[in-house]
Amino acid sequence: MPASTASVSAQPALAAYYWQLVSASDAAGKPVAALDKGIERQLRLTFTGQNLNISGGCNRQFGGFQSENGVLKVQPLASTMMACDPSLMSLDTEVGRLFKGDLRTTFGGDESTPTLQLTTQDGTQLKFVGQPTPETRYGSQGQTRFLEVAAQTVKCSHPLIPDFQCLQVRERRYDAAGLQLPTQDAWHPLYQSIEGYEHQDGVRNVLRVKQYEWKNPPADAPSTVYVLDMVVEQDASAKTR
């Protein structure tokens, strides 16, 4: 198969997965010590449109990219500017050094567990394993919503679990300037979990979530799924009001 044809079929896969670092070796095949923390902390590449985001170190690094003819062309990366443990700062430095210019791409695995190997300009080989993004898993584009989660859960009906406890939630809304609008939604039980969120009893949170419509859910699963994007507010002294 010509390289150009392979790149056309591989290109959509980049955005369909989160790519987590599982190994790193230099041109001589020796492990890259500076990237050990990246493997431990699951350094992750996310491709959205023509933007590459790298997370898992101290700082998030991001920039433009192009993928064609088996080559990932990375434009100069920008970065957030936090200070962290020296090992994480070293990880950031190594990532910034390696993700420059043209990186050769090699895909492997299968659709459920694909692999991506990047060979950098100095011969370093970085191997990543793909995990499907929510858009890939649920077959729809997520809608951003803000949910306030009450400090206390509430008993709710479940056909299989006695004394089942549900989160209490209500929707938060903000104007174009990011200012909170008056809350109109009443507290109500959420009969499902929020993916990625672990509730602590007595702690009120405001969450930014992505809401997905699951195209082909199993018979016992909800058709609407919530995935945590970020915690916007947290208050350990709050009570349901």
216 is written with which tokens? 């082909």
Nearest of 159, 139, 149 to residue 225 by alpha carbon: 139
Condensed to tens digits (0 to 9), the pLDDT of residues 85-96 reads 999 999 999 999
184 pLDDT higher than 70: yes
In one letter, which amino acid is 237?
Answer: S
Nearest of 157, 156, 167, 241 to residue 201 by alpha carbon: 167
62 pLDDT higher than 70: yes
Band (8; pLDDT cuts 50, 70, 90):
very low
Question: Kind of pairing, strands 154-155 and 143-149?
Answer: unpaired
Backbone angles phi, psi at 108, to 5 degrees: -150, -165
Band (12; pLDDT cuts 50, 70, 90):
very low
State the average pLDDT over residues 18-45. 94
Nearest of 21, 230, 234 to residue 120 by alpha carbon: 21
Q: 49 Cβ partners below 8 Å, 6+ apart?
A: 15
Ranges of each domain in the chain: 3-132, 138-235
Condensed to tens digits (0 to 9), the pLDDT of residues 109-168 reads 888 889 999 999 999 999 999 999 999 999 999 999 999 999 999 999 876 778 889 999
Residue found under tokens 């990932």: 72
Tell me the percentage of the chain whose pLDDT exceeds 90: 75
CB 14 within 8 A of CB 73: no
State the average pLDDT over residues 48-70. 94
Q: 110 Cβ partners below 8 Å, 6+ apart?
A: none
**Cα(137)–Cα(210) distance, rounded to whole angstroms?**
13
144 is written with which tokens? 């951003």
Start-end of H helices in the chain: 3-16, 36-40, 86-98, 134-138
User: For the whole model, what pTM was predicted?
Assistant: 0.77
Q: 200 Cβ partners below 8 Å, 6+ apart?
A: 236
Band (238; pLDDT cuts 50, 70, 90):
low
* CATH 1.10.8.60 corresponds to the domain 3-132: no
State the average pLDDT over residues 187-192. 93
- Which DSSP symbol is given to 140? S
Strand partners of residue 138: none
98 is written with which tokens? 């390696």
**Cα(154)–Cα(157) distance, rounded to whole angstroms?**
10
In one letter, which amino acid is 97?
Answer: R
Band (5; pLDDT cuts 50, 70, 90):
very low
